[in-house]
């Protein structure tokens, strides 16, 4: 290898690390050393999928389940969305009794986090938010809080161990959560109040937001023009060189 | 060989290069328009896999024009390939350490396989096919051109903010291609860079 190539290599390697350091400094989230082609959709059902994954997405469904009430409160119950992405485990007596009520209807609805206030601390929502509503039946009011906390298991599309809850989806409270091994793509945490629950991550967007990917055809045309110009420039340069030498 | 036969041979070579150029432009356009492409199908992973296999096969198999003459002392041996590969892998390893944090998702066998396919296919496309198409104008233009296209096709997926980083990474991979004389070094480096991200 020539000395010139070695110097050029050192400059290119150093330049790459400088650009990476600047990018890391400018971004509040994690940066990858290289962004390349194969971005596969995670096995996750989105309410509002990133545009890149929209076509292969199966929308998640809500669930309503009745939990019988006894003399000491609700019976032990596990309520899960049909895809298992949100599971609520309630111990015996978790929901307090109420005069005249025989059961509590628990409804879990997947919600697009974009319809709620953004999660704080520079994080972004990691998958769907889930709204849990509990109503005493027959005809009673909503349950305000549990007598004994239950446990939530929330599936997330990307790694990140932040979990937030909110009564109305207007302000968030972080709840200590644990990632479930070996995949770490589920979070478990204590759960004590009906309302909204959402996971969060500090990773950058999985793919560009829908605004920029909808321009992908325009970008494709731009790249095609650039590619043709490069080929034409190369052809003209080579022809000129040949003419000047021969 | 008669003048007519020479002319016919040159004309055939020109036609062949026009076809290769058209395939290169079409494939690069498809890579850039991936969000629209996968958006039009209910099986995006299959479409992406097929696209990358096609890119890999075409990138490896397309005939290339004769490159500009290289300096006699330019090393293209196994030792040079090994050295530039090690230098590139080391740069991406330092980069991985610099960005810190955790991987974007758990490193499954599927993820390792697909990221490796993407890495090798992109290197066959940009550092073999595109570099080879532009090389008659000189290595500088081949490095710059292949880097520009490599970075540009990722804008539609990740956004404009990855452009400087992918340009810098593309220059590194292009330098490896130029210094080693083959696309093996950037391919190994790109695979290693992806594994460093997901593992």
Q: What average pLDDT does the segment A191-216 reach?
A: 76
Q: Is B45 exposed, middle or buried (0-12, 13-18, 19+ CB in 10 A)?
A: middle
Closest partner CB to B45 (pick from A13, A41, A231): A41
Residue A161 to residue A141: CA distance in whole angstroms: 33
Whether the model pTM is above 0.90: no
- This model of the complex carries an ipTM of 0.83
| Nearest by Cα to B148 from B48, B28, B63 | B28
CB proximity list for A203: less than 8 A, separation 6 or greater: A29, A30, A124, A158, A159, A160, B101, B104
Residues of A in Cβ contact (< 8 Å) with B101: 30, 202-203
Say whether A227 and B98 touch across the interface (CB within 8 A).
Answer: no
Residue B119 to residue B186: CA distance in whole angstroms: 9
Chains A, B: CB contacts within 8 A come to 254
Residue A59 to residue A48: CA distance in whole angstroms: 8
Q: Is B95 exposed, middle or buried (0-12, 13-18, 19+ CB in 10 A)?
A: buried
Give the pLDDT confidence score for residue B68 in this predicted structure.
55
**Whether A108 contacts A131, CB under 8 Å:** yes
Give the pLDDT confidence score for residue B133 in this predicted structure.
94
Give the pLDDT confidence score for residue A29 in this predicted structure.
59
Q: For chain B, what's the residue count?
A: 199
Distance from the A177 Cα atom to the nearest Cα atom in chain B, whole angstroms: 17
Distance from the A187 Cα atom to the nearest Cα atom in chain B, whole angstroms: 14
Q: What is the pLDDT of residues A68-83, one digit of tens each?
A: 998 889 999 999 998 8
**Whether A33 contacts B99, CB under 8 Å:** yes
């Amino acid at each position: 290898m020539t000395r010139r190539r070695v110097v050029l290599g050192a400059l290119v390697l150093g330049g790459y690390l400088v650009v990476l350091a600047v990018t890391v400094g400018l971004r509040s989230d994690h940066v990858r050393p290289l962004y390349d082609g194969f971005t596969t959709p995670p096995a996750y059902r989105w309410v509002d999928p990133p545009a890149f994954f929209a076509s292969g997405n199966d929308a998640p469904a809500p669930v309503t389940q009745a939990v019988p009430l006894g003399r000491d409160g609700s019976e032990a119950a596990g309520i899960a969305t049909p895809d298992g992405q949100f599971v609520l485990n309630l111990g015996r007596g978790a929901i307090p009794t109420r005069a005249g009520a025989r059961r509590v209807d628990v409804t879990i609805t997947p919600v697009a986090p974009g319809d709620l206030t953004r999660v704080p601390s520079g994080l972004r929502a990691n998958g769907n938010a889930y709204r849990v509503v509990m109503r005493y039946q027959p005809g009673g009011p909503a349950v305000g809080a549990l007598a004994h906390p239950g446990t939530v298991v929330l599936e997330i599309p990307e790694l990140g161990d932040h979990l937030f809850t909110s009564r109305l989806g207007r302000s968030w409270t972080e709840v200590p959560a644990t990632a479930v091994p070996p995949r770490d793509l589920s979070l478990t945490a204590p759960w004590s109040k009906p309302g909204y629950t959402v996971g969060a991550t500090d990773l950058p967007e999985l793919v560009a937001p829908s605004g920029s990917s909808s321009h992908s055809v325009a970008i494709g045309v731009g790249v095609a023009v650039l590619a043709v110009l490069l080929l034409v420039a190369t052809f003209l340069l080579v022809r000129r060189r040949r003419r000047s030498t021969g | 060989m008669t003048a007519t036969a020479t002319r016919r041979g040159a004309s055939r070579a020109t036609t062949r290069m026009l076809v290769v150029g058209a395939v290169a432009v079409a494939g690069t356009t498809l890579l850039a328009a991936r969000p629209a492409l996968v958006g039009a199908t209910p099986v995006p992973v299959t479409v992406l896999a097929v696209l990358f296999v096609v890119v890999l096969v075409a990138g490896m198999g397309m005939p290339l024009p004769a490159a500009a003459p290289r300096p006699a002392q330019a090393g293209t041996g196994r030792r040079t390939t090994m050295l530039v590969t090690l230098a590139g892998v080391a740069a991406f390893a330092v980069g991985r350490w610099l960005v810190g944090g955790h991987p974007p998702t758990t490193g499954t066998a599927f993820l390792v396989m697909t990221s490796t396919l993407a890495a090798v296919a992109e290197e066959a496309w940009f550092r073999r096919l595109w570099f080879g198409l532009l090389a008659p104008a000189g290595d500088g233009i081949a490095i710059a051109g292949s880097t520009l296209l490599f970075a540009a096709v990722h804008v539609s997926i990740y956004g404009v903010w990855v452009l400087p980083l992918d340009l810098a990474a593309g220059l590194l991979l292009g330098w490896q291609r130029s210094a080693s004389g083959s696309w093996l070094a950037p391919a190994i480096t790109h695979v290693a860079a992806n594994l460093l991200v997901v593992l």
